[in-house]
Amino acid sequence: MTVAYRWAGITDTGKSRTENQDSVYPEGLGEGSSGVIAVADGLGGHPGGDIASRCAVDAIADAPDGTDGAGLVGAAHDRIIARIAEALGERSELIAMATTLTLAVLTPDEPIEVAHVGDSRAYLANGSNIVQVTDDHTHGMDRVVAGELSLEEAQRDPDWHVMSNWLGFESYRVATYRVPVEPGDRLLLCTDGLTNMLADDRIAEILAEGTVERSAAALVDAANDAGGVDNITVVVVDVLEAERAPGPAT
């Protein structure tokens, strides 16, 4: 099926933090039959989280058209490692800078491709149905995905949500997903500043209402109303029917 897209990206500092270490790509509204969207969450507690997440989205912006999801993550990784090398000697604390990265490559022919490192998330929604596309790369979820523990068992470990995989270190792994979509679907990319504040059901409710820009703004507002303890970043994407090319004259 041939489809098109309309998207809205917002990043917000939230109510507790003084600095926004998240980055979004692209910020604001856009539409087209193809494109790349991304969220990156610079790791708090690591100096330069804001620089790492900014490097990731800048590398995506600069990548040639047609680069696949793993290629885009690789470009982001290379940019961060180069920035760390540049900083050595001058700001050596930046050696620890790190970020998550979750992106989607939107193409006129589905399925779309999601590429993911860390604990930001992609969701696919239709009406009140919502499915989390990505697995969180945390010590607990890794063991759940491997079949070693149930989710309940994993959640008993106080460190279960500690991240196990991120960009900013030589070794990382990219998870890629091929996601079939159809007109009427909504894709959401978001950082944990949203998902730690709102349950999936609440996210689905808000996602089911209004245009992409209203829905994205409403998600950020709801996370802030719920406490806004972290930076909040969302990209909401509508999957649309592609406009038919004019047929031959009769």
Question: In the numeric block, which tokens belong to residue 207?
Answer: 């996602």
- Minimum distance between the CB of residue 49 and Ca ion, rounded to whole angstroms? 9
- Minimum distance between the CB of residue 94 and Ca ion, rounded to whole angstroms? 19
- Minimum distance between the CB of residue 100 and Ca ion, rounded to whole angstroms? 8
Among 50, 142, 185, 192, binds Ca ion (CB under 5 A): 192
Binding window for Ca ion (CB under 5 A); candidates: 31-39, 45-53, 189-197, 233-241: 189-197
Size of the site for Ca ion (CB under 5 A): 5
For residue 238, state whether it binds Ca ion (rule: CB under 5 A).
Answer: no
> What one-character-per-residue DSSP string does 24-85 give?
EES-EEEEESSEEEEEEEBPTTSTTHHHHHHHHHHHHHHSPTT--HHHHHHHHHHHHHHHHH
CA angle 31, 34, 36 (to 5 degrees): 90
What residue type is 147 in one-letter code?
A: G
For residue 230, state whether it binds Ca ion (rule: CB under 5 A).
Answer: yes
Which of residues 191 and 215 has its CB atom nearest to Ca ion in the complex? 191
For residue 41, state whether it binds Ca ion (rule: CB under 5 A).
Answer: yes
Binding window for Ca ion (CB under 5 A); candidates: 23-31, 37-45, 153-161, 232-240: 37-45
Which of residues 187 and 232 has its CB atom nearest to Ca ion in the complex? 232
- Minimum distance between the CB of residue 138 and Ca ion, rounded to whole angstroms? 13
CB atoms within 10 A of CB 167: 28
φ, ψ of residue 249 to 5 degrees: the values are -65, 140
- Quote the CA–CA distance of 240 and 204 in Å, as a whole number: 19
For residue 50, state whether it binds Ca ion (rule: CB under 5 A).
Answer: no
Half-sphere exposure of 220 (CA within 13 A, CB side): 20
Question: In the numeric block, which tokens belong to residue 236?
Answer: 């909401």
Which of residues 112 and 189 has its CB atom nearest to Ca ion in the complex? 189
Binding window for Ca ion (CB under 5 A); candidates: 48-56, 61-69, 143-151, 184-192: 184-192
Q: What share of the chain is helix, strand, coil (3-state, %, to 5)?
A: 30, 30, 40
Binding window for Ca ion (CB under 5 A); candidates: 105-113, 150-158, 185-193, 199-207: 185-193
CB atoms within 10 A of CB 39: 32
Which of residues 50 and 192 has its CB atom nearest to Ca ion in the complex? 192
Under the rule (CB under 5 A), what is the footprint of Ca ion? 41, 191-193, 230
